[in-house]
Structure 1
Amino acid sequence: MAKPEKLAEKLYLIDDFDLSMEKRTGTYVLKEQKLTLVETSASPSVPYILEGLKQLHITPEEIEYIIVTHIHLDHAGGTGLLLTHCPNAKVIVHPKGARHLADPSRLITGAKAVYGDQFDKLFNPILPVPEDKIITKEHEEELEIGPNCTLKFYDSPGHANHHFSIFHPALNGMFTGDTAGVFYPQLIEHGIELYLPSTSPNQFNPHKMLKSIEMYEKLDLEFIFFGHYGMSSNPKEVYRQIKDWLKIYINAGETAFSGGGSLDQQTQAAQVILEEKVKGYLNGKDIPLDHPVYEILAVDIAVCSMGLIDYLHKAN
């Protein structure tokens, strides 16, 4: 198990080993007066979170807030299980996500449709969060967690409608969940920053995503803290790449959609196009085809392709 990474004063990142992959999904620890976690990943990640807290000399009973940017299972699926270890914590979620934490049955049904036989291994158990443990935060509402740290919440749809981002004023940084895409730190050792949009089903909307990116730009942030995975101190490059790749993703989806066939065939066609685009880009940067980043990219591109075709069917 990896040691929690110190990103800044009072801010740490625990690797959740989501999907058994290193640097795939992370939980942020805000070591403020009121100890706060951002993101839980899925339930199989909870032991990694608990071990990470132990290494930071934090007991689960000390956690006061667990914040989830949105209620997709790779960000919030472990919330109910983690709460059984953190009895004093409250869960903070977007108003549109609260009922799904209290009753995760629809989340479970949706995930089973996407992941099939892999569901149990990837996500079980998904426990309901007691309603009296849930706090919702509207756009621009705040939460004081320390004398010099009042978090501010921003409605940030595009990846999902039940998504908010959390502004950390002392760091001038934003926890963006999936709205600002996915960061692939596996490539940093090669001098490559890669940020790709996350277009997973079933509420992906490119227009809303670009509006949210525009909101981040206006805030003139210094740091982006991703759900997948880690920190970027180069927000302008993040925005540029997300906008550029979003066009490529939409074009791939439209090409696959216009080709006809079943939903699965269209999704498969979009996936093939996107894999070729991303591999071509990385090949141009001399990244070998056996690089471990491709294992993560394969998962992401498969799910993003589903979201693109789902969006185009709804739009047409």
Structure 2
Amino acid sequence: MISVHGIHTIDTGFVRPRFDAAYLIVEKGRGAFIDCGTNLAVPRLLAALHDAGITAADVDWLILTHVHLDHAGGAGELIARLPNARLVVHPRGARHMIDPSVLWAGASAVYGEAVMEETYGRLRPIPVERVIEAADGHVVELAGRPLLCIDTPGHAKHHLTVHDKRANVCFTGDVFGLSYRDFDTASGAFILPTTSPVQFDPAALHASIDRLVALKPAAMYLTHYGRVEHVEKLAADLHAQIDAMVELARTAHGKPDRHVVLMESLTDLYLARAEAHGWNRGRDVLRQLLGMDIELNAQGLEVWLDR
């Protein structure tokens, strides 16, 4: 577990190593988690408290960037283990944490009950009195350390970003894309946008990225995965790819094999950009590392097209 400015990066163990992160901020002996992964990550999060020198009773907050299950699936189980903590979540996501039945039903319809149980574990409701809805501009105080919640739609309508003013960094969930360490080269971090199957909005995503860059943060902490710097360069890469992805979607629209065409064209896009970045492990390895993300991006673009 790495710590900078009291920020601890925790690998939740979801999918593969260095794929899905949660974060623990410690200030003056008090703690706040940002995102939590799935139920299966809860033992890792509790172990991180021990490593950071605090206890479960010292945690005041669990802040969710959004309620997709790789970020929030373990929220109910974790809150049950943190006697003094409250949950902070976007107003559009709060009801799904209080009563996760609709969230569970929607995901189960796609993946099936058995896969859901194995991958995420049963979702546990959070008592309404422990849930705080964070509208744009809401400030969470962690022992005098302000954590600003910023409404950042584009990936999802219920997405917020946390700006830690003390460290001058942002915890971006999925709105600032994906950057796996497997793609790091001498040129630094490689980044790509992530859509979502139902709420991708390219114009909103562009605006959210610009809003975060305007804060001039020293770094971004991504759920997938970890701390990245050179924020303005990465933002430019994201903007260019959002536009390219939208164009690929429009080109594929109306074709009988639209999904297959879009999957292949997205793979071509990411491979070309990765190779230009100095990454040369080939198409098959890229598909192994990005297969799930390419599938989700294709689905997100198709839902956007149909909408």
TM-score relative to the length of structure 2: 0.93
The answer to whether 1:312 aligns with 2:295 is no
The answer to whether 1:47 aligns with 2:43 is yes
Give the C-alpha shift of residue 88 in structure 1: 1.7
Give the C-alpha shift of residue 201 in structure 1: 1.5
2:82, 2:284 → 1: CA distance?
A: 38
List alignment gaps of at least 5 residues for structure 1: none
The answer to whether 1:171 aligns with 2:167 is yes
TM-score relative to the length of structure 1: 0.90
Aligned match for 1:22, one of 11, 17, 21:
17
- From the superposition, tell whether residues 313 and 225 of structure 1 become closer, same or farther in structure 2 (CA, over 3 Å): same
Q: Deviations over 1:258-282 (max 9, x none)?
A: 31x3xxx433331121112212333
Q: Deviations over 1:30-52 (max 9, x none)?
A: 01133100001111222222222
Aligned match for 1:134, one of 131, 134, 138:
131
2:154, 2:279 → 1: CA distance?
A: 32
Aligned match for 1:277, one of 269, 273, 284:
269
- From the superposition, tell whether residues 288 and 140 of structure 1 become closer, same or farther in structure 2 (CA, over 3 Å): same
Q: Match for 2:258: what amino acid?
A: Q
Q: Give the secondary structure class of the aligned counterpart of 1:66.
A: strand
Aligned match for 1:145, one of 134, 142, 147:
142
- From the superposition, tell whether residues 258 and 215 of structure 1 become closer, same or farther in structure 2 (CA, over 3 Å): same
> Are the aligned partners of 2:271 and 2:283 in contact in 1 as well (CA < 8 Å)?
no
Among the aligned pairs, what percent are the same residue? 28
Give the C-alpha shift of residue 189 in structure 1: 5.0
Q: Give the secondary structure class of the aligned counterpart of 2:273.
A: helix
Q: How does 1:72-111 map to 2 (within 5 A)?
A: 72-111=68-107
> Are the aligned partners of 1:187 and 1:293 in contact in 2 as well (CA < 8 Å)?
no
Q: Give the secondary structure class of the aligned counterpart of 2:158.
A: coil
1:25, 1:134 → 2: CA distance?
A: 24
- From the superposition, tell whether residues 201 and 290 of structure 1 become closer, same or farther in structure 2 (CA, over 3 Å): closer
Give the C-alpha shift of residue 303 in structure 1: 0.9
> Are the aligned partners of 1:92 and 1:137 in contact in 2 as well (CA < 8 Å)?
yes
1:272, 1:282 → 2: CA distance?
A: 15
Give the C-alpha shift of residue 159 in structure 1: 0.5
Give the C-alpha shift of residue 60 in structure 1: 2.0
1:46, 1:70 → 2: CA distance?
A: 18
The answer to whether 1:197 aligns with 2:193 is yes
1:128, 1:257 → 2: CA distance?
A: 40
- From the superposition, tell whether residues 202 and 5 of structure 1 become closer, same or farther in structure 2 (CA, over 3 Å): same
> Are the aligned partners of 2:190 and 2:274 in contact in 1 as well (CA < 8 Å)?
no
> Are the aligned partners of 1:200 and 1:305 in contact in 2 as well (CA < 8 Å)?
no
Give the corresponding residue for 2:158.
162
Q: Give the secondary structure class of the aligned counterpart of 2:91.
A: coil
- From the superposition, tell whether residues 55 and 292 of structure 1 become closer, same or farther in structure 2 (CA, over 3 Å): farther
The answer to whether 1:225 aligns with 2:221 is yes
Give the corresponding residue for 1:295.
288
> Are the aligned partners of 1:65 and 1:92 in contact in 2 as well (CA < 8 Å)?
yes
Q: Give the secondary structure class of the aligned counterpart of 2:227.
A: strand
Q: Match for 2:153: what amino acid?
A: P
Q: Give the secondary structure class of the aligned counterpart of 1:219.
A: coil
> Are the aligned partners of 1:81 and 1:125 in contact in 2 as well (CA < 8 Å)?
no
Q: Match for 1:272: what amino acid?
A: E
List alignment gaps of at least 5 residues for structure 2: none
Aligned residues: 304
2:80, 2:253 → 1: CA distance?
A: 44
Q: Match for 1:305: what amino acid?
A: A
> Are the aligned partners of 2:169 and 2:218 in contact in 1 as well (CA < 8 Å)?
yes
